[in-house]
Chains A and B, each alone.
Chain A
Amino acid sequence: MPIQYYIYLCLALFSIGIIGVLTRRNAIIVFMCIELMLNAVNLLLVAFSKMHHGAAIAVNPASQTGVEGQLFVFFIMVVAAAEVSVGLAIIVMLFRNTHSVDINFLNRLKN
C-alpha cells in the first residue's frame, strides 16, 4: 500500500482526537481522545519507519535504517501509560469531590 494512505488515515485519526478534545465535555472522553491522538502518531511512526527501511534495503540489504521509528513508538507507549496513571488519579480525585467528571464544572477559577 502506498504511504499516502497511512498518512491520510493517521491525520484523520489525529483530527478526530483534536475535535474530540475541543468539543466533548466529559473528562474521560477527552482523555480517550488524547489517547487516540497518541495512537495516530504511533501508527504514523511505524508507517514512516517501514517506508525509510524499504528505501534503505533497496540500496543495502543489510541496512538497519528505520529501527529508531519503531523504538520511538515504545517510548510513546510507556509515557502514555505513565500519563494514564496520573490522569486517571486526577479524574478520580475530582470525582470524589464533585461526584461528576464534567469539565463544565471547571469554571470556578474564572472569577
Chain B
Amino acid sequence: MNAIILSALLGVVMMFSGIIIKEKSALKYIAAAGLLLLLIANLMHTYGIYQVRIDTHGLLDFQKFGLFFNSIVFAATLVYVLLSGKDIENTGLNVAEYFALIFFVLCGVSILSAYNGLLMLFLGIEILSIPLYILTGADKRNMKSNEAALKYFLMGSFSTGIMLMGIALVYGATGSFGMTPPPVNPVTGLYQGSFLEVAGLLLLFVSMAFKVSAAPFHFWTPDVYDGAPSVFTSFMATIVKAAGFIAFIRLFAGHTTILGPTWKIILSFVIIATLLIGNITAVFQQSVKRMLAYSSIAQAGFMLFALYSNNDLTQEGILLYTVAYSLATIGIFAVLIKMKDYTYDGFNGLAKKQPVLAFGATVCLLSLAGIPSTAGFFAKYYMLAATIKEGGAFWLVIVAVLFAAVSAYYYFRVIQAMYFKDGDAETHGPISNGFKYALLLLSALIVLVGIMPSVVLNWLYF
C-alpha cells in the first residue's frame, strides 16, 4: 500500500515542482530522491512497517514476491533516471510532467504486482498505459513520435476493449471478479469451465499478449518503440514490459486448469512464434534502435516460459530476468541515446573515441545475448531450468536455446562495429564523467548478478 499511495503522491509533487522550480536540471534530482523514498517505503512494507494501513477488502493482496518485484522496479527506475535523466530533460519543454508520468506508471506497476481481482487488474493496466501513451508522443514536433503515440493509443485501447470483454464473460460464467481457483469436480478431479468462461479467459490471454508484445500480437511494438523518444522507449521496453509479465503470470497462475491441456499447446505456439519473429526479424534490421525493439520481442519469448512452468524456480527466474533484462536494456539505450546515428555504421569505431561507452554497451549486449558471467545467462538458465523441472517440454527448451544462439548474431554485430571497424562514431556533445561512472557501475552490477545470482534471489527468502 505504501508504494501505491506514495508513487501517486510523488507524481503530483513532481507536477507542482515543475511550476515552482524554474531550474530544469534540478527536477531530475527531485525525481531521484522521490524514487529513493519510494524504494525505502516499499522495503519497509516488505518487512512489515506500514505507514498507512487500509483494508482493501481483498481487492489487493500483498505478497512478498510482488513487493520484491516492486523494489526491483523502483531500483531499476532509479538507475534509469540517474543514467538518462539528462536526456529526459532534452526531450521537450515539460520536464516535470515527464517525471510525474513516470511516477504514475510506477503506481500502475505497484497495483499490478498486488492485484487480487479482475477489477484491479483492469485499473492497474490502465494506470500503467495511459501515461505511456502521453510519454510516447512527448516529442510533439516529431512526426514519428506522433504516429507512434497514435498507433500505441489505438492498439492499447483496442486490447483494453478485448480484455474487458474477457472479464465480462468470466464474470458472467462465475459471478465474481475474484482470482481464486474454481472448485474441482469431485468425480473427474478436473474443473470443467463453461464455454463462456473459456472464451473469456482466451480473450484475456489475447489482450495480455498484446500488452507484453507476444507474437502474433506484436505488430505494434517495432513501430511504437522506434517512433517514441529513445529515453521513453528504454522505459517502456524494460519496466513496463516486466510489469505486464507479472500481471500475466498472476492472472493465469490459478486458471490454467480450466483450459486443460489446450493451454500448453496454445502457449508453446505463442512462445515459438514470439522467439521466431523476434529473432529472425531482428537479424535484418539496419537501425540499432529497431533491432532492440525486435530483440525486446525475442526477450518476451523467453519471459513467456514463466507462464509455461509454474514452480518455485519460475518465481526466481522471472525476478532474475527482470533484473538482468532491465539493467542491460537501460544501459544499452543510455548509450544509444548519446549516438548521433542510430544505424550500425553509426557505431563504427566507438571503442577508440569513447572506450568507456563502448565497454558499457558491450557488457549490456553480452548480458542480453546471455553470455556466461553476465546477468543474462542465469536469467535464461533459470527460465529454462524451470521449464525442464515442469517436464514434458524438452523440445521447447532446445528451440529456445537455438534462438538464443541466433540472437548472439545481431548483438555481436554492434560489438563488432564498435571494436573492429574503423569510422568516426559521433556522439551528441561531450560525455560527462558522471555518465561514464554510472555506466561502469551498471556494468559492474550486471557482472555481479551474473556471477552471484544469489545477491538478488536471497532477498526473496529473507
Contact = CB atoms under 8 A, between A and B. Distances in A.
Contacts of B42: none
A86 B130 contact: yes
Interface in B285-339: 286-287, 290
12 contacts: A14-B165, A21-B154, A31-B157, A34-B161, A41-B165, A79-B123, A90-B133, A90-B146, A93-B137, A103-B154, A106-B151, A110-B223
A69 B144 CA distance: 40
Interface string B113-140: 0000001001100100010011001001
A45 B141 CA distance: 41
Given A41-B165, A69-B171, A86-B133, A109 B147 contact: yes
Contacts of A111: 286-287, 290
A38 interface: yes
Contact of A52 (B150, B160, B175): B175
B158 A106 contact: no
A87 B161 contact: no
A93 B140 contact: yes
Contacts of A41: 161, 164-165, 167-168
Interface string A67-111: 011011001100100110011011101100110000101101111
B176 interface: yes
Contact of B147 (A44, A52, A87, A94): A94
Contacts of A109: 144, 147-148, 151, 222-223, 226-227
Contact of A82 (B130, B154, B168, B177): B130
A31 B154 contact: yes
A interface majority secondary structure: helix
A34 B162 CA distance: 10
Nearest to A10: B168
Contacts of A68: 119, 176-177
Contacts of B171: 45, 48, 69, 72
Given A41-B167, A86-B133, 13 more contacts: A40-B165, A41-B168, A44-B165, A44-B169, A71-B119, A75-B119, A82-B126, A93-B140, A103-B150, A105-B147, A106-B147, A108-B143, A111-B287
A43 to B, nearest CB: 9
B92 interface: no
Given A21-B154, A108-B143, A51 B161 contact: no
Contacts of B148: 109
Interface string B383-416: 0000000000000000000000000000000000
Nearest to B136: A90
A76 B164 contact: yes
B123 A86 contact: no
Interface in B148-186: 148-151, 153-154, 157-158, 160-162, 164-165, 167-169, 171-172, 175-177
A7 B123 CA distance: 24
A98 B147 CA distance: 10
Interface in A6-50: 7, 10, 14, 17, 21, 27, 30-31, 34, 37-38, 40-41, 44-45, 48
